[in-house]
Amino acid sequence: MAEHGAGPAAAARPALTSLDLDLRQRLARLARPDGIVVGLAIDHRDSLRVYLERQGLAGLATGELGALKAALVRVLAPAASALMLDAELGRTAFERGAVPPSIGLIMPLEAQGYEVVGDGRVTTLLEDWQAIAPSHHADACKLLLPYRADHEPSAARQDALVAQVAEACHAGGRPLVIEPVVYQWSSESAADFEQAYEGLVVGAVARLRPLGADLLKVPFPLLDLASAGEERASDACRALAGACGGTPWVLLGAGVGTDTFVEQIRLAGRAGASGFLAGRGIWGPALSRDPAEAERLARTVALPAFERCREAAHRFAQPLRLAPGD
């Protein structure tokens, strides 16, 4: 990630402004010294409540959810290069000093829920979105986007939102992590969605990347890795890498099991991914009503799983590129 030396190509490159340097330095903080991102995503809010209900843990109060997140962060964050944590339910983790000062901190800007545009979905922003990252001294911002490139009314709205948010983030010297998540129409069969999935993921990335993304957090481009086979999966990862162009990208976890995610990290890394930012697939097994039990499970179950993913990333992922030519 070092700067190139002097020479014709370097001389032709415009000088970096102080904001450019701030942005690049903050982006570098999301990775290990070797340039690999091994990140933990615990910024879930409404989706955390839904996930807890599915695990038979419904009814936790906001304070209990905050204590649970703080327990997970305390154990898992020291092993990560980056932490994605929200200002709402993550408040307890901040207040208790559970967030390591050395970690790259990424904060979400999207509000819970979304606006409906016909059959499509459009992200809405938190009311104080421009103040969130500065007030917590965060290194980067994140914007999650439900996205269907084949639905122009909603896609155009999402595109405009990304451009707006990217401009504001860059004005403050902070990189923007874009997370496109494709979704299934209610009228679409599971088989049709699976068949369209790769094209939807690649199409979303190709359309969003030029709008100001500094890091793309993307799903693995196939829904069923086991049935696809390695050659098919490798082709899909290369197609995704092509859509990312020179913008660095990492995998999101999507809740898959550790064995599957390690294999996804391997295939994506060989295609050019710079690591991962994983969530419930890592910390899901550690959820408990009792924060002390959650902390124990995080140490004995979740942390070993995270370390397996980290080892795969360091073996197969490509160093983070901070700018074209780095």
Residue 169: give its domain's CATH number: 3.20.20.70
3-class SS shares of the chain: helix, strand, coil, % to 5: 50, 15, 35
Q: How many domains does the chain have?
A: 1
pLDDT score for 247: 95
140: which DSSP letter? E
pLDDT score for 19: 61
Question: Which two three-digit tokens encode residue 69?
Answer: 């997140």
10-residue mean pLDDT series, the chain (326 residues)? 38 54 91 96 92 89 94 97 96 96 96 89 95 95 97 97 97 96 95 96 97 97 92 97 96 95 98 97 94 95 98 97 56
Residues 6+ apart with CB under 8 A from 71: 291, 292, 294, 295, 298
Q: How far is CA 221 from CA 137, 259, 306, in A?
A: 33, 17, 21
3-state secondary structure of 221: coil
Q: Please tell me the distance from the alpha carbon of residue 211 to that of residue 115, in angstroms, as a whole number.
A: 21
Q: Please tell me the distance from the alpha carbon of residue 263 to that of residue 309, in angstroms, as a whole number.
A: 9
pLDDT score for 107: 97
List the alpha helices (DSSP H) in the chain. 8-12, 18-28, 46-54, 62-76, 91-95, 129-135, 152-171, 190-208, 225-228, 230-244, 258-271, 280-283, 291-297, 303-316
Q: Is 89 inside any structural domain?
A: yes
Q: Please tell me the distance from the alpha carbon of residue 70 to that of residue 94, in angstroms, as a whole number.
A: 8
pLDDT score for 323: 55
Q: Is 25 inside any structural domain?
A: no
pLDDT score for 324: 43
pLDDT score for 1: 38
Gyration radius of the chain over CA positions: 19
Q: Is 247 inside any structural domain?
A: yes
Structural domain boundaries enclosing 293: 34-316
Q: Please tell me the distance from the alpha carbon of residue 54 to that of residue 182, in angstroms, as a whole number.
A: 22
Q: What is the dihedral of CA 301, 316, 247, 104, to 10 degrees?
A: 40
pTM of the model: 0.91
pLDDT score for 47: 87
Q: Is 323 inside any structural domain?
A: no
Where b means 16+ CB within 10 Å and e means fewer, 36-52 reads bbbbbbbbbbeebbebb
Q: Please tell me the distance from the alpha carbon of residue 150 to that of residue 172, in angstroms, as a whole number.
A: 33
Q: Is 26 inside any structural domain?
A: no
Q: Please tell me the distance from the alpha carbon of residue 16 to that of residue 292, in angstroms, as a whole number.
A: 48
Query: Among 31, 137, 47, 45, which Cα is nearest to 94's?
Result: 137
Task: Tell me if 179 sits within 8 A of 252, measured CB to CB.
Answer: yes
Query: Among 64, 37, 49, 62, which Cα is nearest to 290's?
Result: 64
pLDDT score for 9: 38
Task: Tell me if 181 sits within 8 A of 255, measured CB to CB.
Answer: no
Q: Is 240 inside any structural domain?
A: yes
